[in-house]
Amino acid sequence: MFVHNLASPSQVGQGGLTRRWREHVTETEYRARRAMTTFVIRRLMQAVMVLFATSLIVFVAVYAIGDPLEILLPSDASETEKAQVARSLGLDLPLPVQYGRFLWAALHGDFGNSFVYNQPAMTVIFERLPATLELTITALLMSLLIGLPMGLWAGNRPGTMVDESIMTGSILGFSLPNFWQGMMLIMIFAVWLGWLPSTGRGEPGTIFGITTSFASWDGIRHLILPAINLSLGNMAVIIRLTRTGVQETLPLDFVKYARARGLSERRILMVHVMKIILIPIVTVIGIEFGTLVAFAVVTETIFAWPGVGKLIIDSISALDRPVVVAYILVMVTLFIAINLAVDVAYSLLDPRIRSRAT
Amino acid sequence: MTLLRLPGESLIARAGRGIAASPKAAIALVICVLLVLAAIFAPVLAPQNPYDLKEIDIFDAKLPPGTVGYNGMTYLLGTDTQGRDMLSAMLYGLRTSLAVGLTAGVIALAIGTTLGLAAAYFGKWLDTLIMRLVDLMLGFPKILVALMIMVAFGQGTWKVILALVFVQWAFFARTVRAAAMVETGKDYVEAARCLGLSSPRILFHHLLPNCLPPLIIVGTIQVAHAIAAEATLSFLGIGLPITEPSLGLLIANGYHVLLAGLYWMSVFPGLLLLTLIFSINVVGDRLRAVLNPRLAA
């Protein structure tokens, strides 16, 4: 499409100009691509440094929280038994040596065996990750499917009762303490009304060889309350963002021209305005997804959802060091990846960011 | 929505006028003030001292709201599993929640403001360093960072405050830097520099007063966030110690008996927490509409 447009001068017989146009395009394109590559490589190097720093901080910090031997062994264990277990876990070595061994193993994806589950820490985490992702993605979709229309509605009628109620409702949405809101959902829908189960994941079904809650009615029933719990705060953010976007876009000239052309209000809002406001929303979705994964810790604890969030809280109280360390590093890696993806997406949507980065 | 700035009107007067013009915000502000007063005077207002073992009776445990106990006292909001009066426990919990949230907010504000002003005023490598740190902090969800800090340092009141400060300073730094960047280019800063005033003096006496509006907005909202974050950490069992139960910890205690139908132990402290956070946020939202220089222009 670009080539066609830019080469159009050839149609009026200016061959020389066509070639120069083409060269110009290739040069710009080349520079833009090189800038993009430099940008991505630079961010990747930063990411590796952040990961390395985090691994050091986390290792030292988690080493300080307590003695796993006290948890693992009965209180009447003899000194020789203690020394034996300490040696088998490598806890008797000096701290720098332990860190060196930890880092080397971590580079191979080995964070040691969980003290509690007696399985590799990474295996324990990856077994529970699908449950968390399922919950998070459902919550994200729900907040978008409800938040976007509400924001459009409020933004299109500023100052009316509808706008006032939706905006006050959204303040209420992010003021509601997540954990308490979840408990109220349990109290109303599980204890009083008895409509939905309060805890656990139920019997997930299997579809195309993947075990997921979406594949069975029992699974979906168990998913509803946790997903509502997780999505409400996020929904409030999306509503506010959409409303601001609509209000900033509606006075722009292109909306006036669209009206002048006789397009219906619905079409202007749903197609033309939507295109503009989706840019900030798409970039926010990355960050919000991360926030949801983190807040899944709270939701999973309340609803006994067997994901990584519940695992980390259990592991903290059980002083299960390898799992805590592996969880934090998996999360940090996830967030670095999300931030990188958001930055790249943003620089693709807005070239000004890219030129500043070089 | 936005108010015209009257000549010679102080910032606080303008904020006050803006809040008074909105009944919703005015009610929210009154509720905030009442809750702060209730927290300060909790020992006077509470029917019993919930942490004096002589005053509580285990036989009065798990009484529903409105029950008269063995000692002839009426428990308006019921009692908890230890026989404590819920109303008293909530007033003391409100005290802890507010104290932790405000302390964390003020410390984060001081640190973030200083760093943000310094980044904007000195620029160059200091700006790059501080803003890189800010970007890094804002790239991670607050709850995860707070969780990591609590894992590292263990439970405790000051450790919770440390964790909250750690996750919040970046918001203040970013806000103040953005405002100060605009201000540093103005003539009065140049004039102050020509007079040979010291950098701290220029930063805090000349720049800071002109960066206040966005700082007040962010400060209000961050206090609400701090209170909510502390409650969440305490609920997860990695926040405040059991000896200083905040509203979050009271709700956590109520969680264990919720499925048995003993709703009052978690519903009432939760409603109080919600009222507190909601009213602060409503006031903050109104302040944003009134004080935002971009909207007011």
DSSP assignment of A273-332, as one string? Answer: IHHHHHHHHHHHHHHHHHHHHHHHHHHHHHHT--SHHHHHHHHHHTT-HHHHHHHHHHHH
Which of A63-67, A69-73, B153-157, B167-171 is predicted with the least confidence, judged by mean pLDDT? Answer: A63-67
Distance CA B219, CA B138 (A): 16
Is B237 touching A (CB cutoff 8 A)? yes
Chain A segment 322-351 residues within 8 A of B by beta carbon are: 324, 328, 331-332, 335-336, 339
Helix (H) or strand (E) holding B261: none
- What is the model's pLDDT at position A19? 52
pLDDT in tens, B267-286: 888 899 999 999 998 888 88
Distance CA B241, CA B259 (A): 25
Find residue B68's DSSP bridge partners: B74
- Asked if the model's pLDDT at residue A1 lies above 50, the reply is no
Chain A segment 5-24 residues within 8 A of B by beta carbon are: none
Structure tokens at B204: 């805090």
Residue with tokens 């994901």: A307
CB atoms within 10 A of CB B113: 24
What are the Cα distances from residue B289, in Å, to B2, B21, B151?
6, 12, 39
- What is the model's pLDDT at position A63? 65
Structure tokens at B210: 């002109």
Which of A321-330, B8-17, B20-29, B50-59 is predicted with the least confidence, judged by mean pLDDT? Answer: B50-59
For residue B261, the distance in angstroms to the closest alpha carbon of chain A comes to 7
Q: Do A175 and B277 touch (CB under 8 A)?
A: yes
pLDDT in tens, A200-209: 777 666 666 6
What secondary structure, in 3-state letters, does A101-122 show?
HHHHHHHCCCCCECCCCCCEHH
Chain A nearest-CA residue for B223 = A175
The dihedral built from the CA positions of residue A237, A300, A103 and A123, taken in this order, carries a sign that is negative
Q: Summarize the confidence of residues A42-48 as an average pLDDT.
A: 81
Chain A hits for B259, CB-CB cut-off 8 Å, are 186, 190-191, 198
Model confidence at A12, pLDDT cuts 50, 70, 90, reads very low
Q: Do B139 and A187 touch (CB under 8 A)?
A: no
Structure tokens at B30: 């009154």
For residue A321, the distance in angstroms to the closest alpha carbon of chain B comes to 10
Chain A nearest-CA residue for B283 = A171
Q: Do A316 and B277 touch (CB under 8 A)?
A: no
Chain B hits for A332, CB-CB cut-off 8 Å, are 140
What are the Cα distances from residue A344, in Å, to A37, A42, A354, B125?
10, 12, 9, 24
Q: Do B152 and A328 touch (CB under 8 A)?
A: no
Domain A122-356: homologous superfamily in CATH? MetI-like (1.10.3720.10)
CB atoms within 10 A of CB B190: 11
Reference B176, options B106, B120, B104, B105; nearest CA is B120
Chain B segment 258-287 residues within 8 A of A by beta carbon are: 258-259, 261, 263, 266-267, 270, 273-274, 277-278, 281-282, 285
Backbone angles phi, psi at B62, to 5 degrees: 60, 30
- What is the model's pLDDT at position A358? 40
Residue A32: helix, strand or coil by DSSP?
Answer: helix
- Asked if the model's pLDDT at residue A24 lies above 60, the reply is no
Model confidence at A13, pLDDT cuts 50, 70, 90, reads very low
For residue B211, the distance in angstroms to the closest alpha carbon of chain A comes to 23
Find residue A120's DSSP bridge partners: A113
For residue A331, the distance in angstroms to the closest alpha carbon of chain B comes to 9
For residue A232, the distance in angstroms to the closest alpha carbon of chain B comes to 14
For residue B139, the distance in angstroms to the closest alpha carbon of chain A comes to 7
- Chain CA centroid to CA B234, Å: 15
**Among the partner residues A177, A316, A336, nearest to B228 by beta-carbon distance:** A177
Residue B291: helix, strand or coil by DSSP?
Answer: helix
- Asked if the model's pLDDT at residue B180 lies above 80, the reply is yes
The dihedral built from the CA positions of residue B79, B82, B85 and B91, taken in this order, carries a sign that is negative
pLDDT in tens, A283-312: 788 888 888 888 888 999 888 888 888 888
Residue A244: helix, strand or coil by DSSP?
Answer: helix
- Asked if the model's pLDDT at residue B232 lies above 80, the reply is yes
The dihedral built from the CA positions of residue A200, A205, A210 and A213, taken in this order, carries a sign that is negative
Reference B75, options B83, B84, A153, B66; nearest CA is B66
Residue ranges of domains in chain A? 2-65, 68-107, 122-356
pLDDT in tens, A233-284: 889 988 988 888 888 888 888 888 888 888 888 888 888 888 778 777 877 8
- pTM for the whole structure: 0.80
Distance CA B246, CA B248 (A): 5
Backbone angles phi, psi at A112, to 5 degrees: 85, 170
Which of A43-47, A72-76, B293-297 is predicted with the least confidence, judged by mean pLDDT? Answer: B293-297
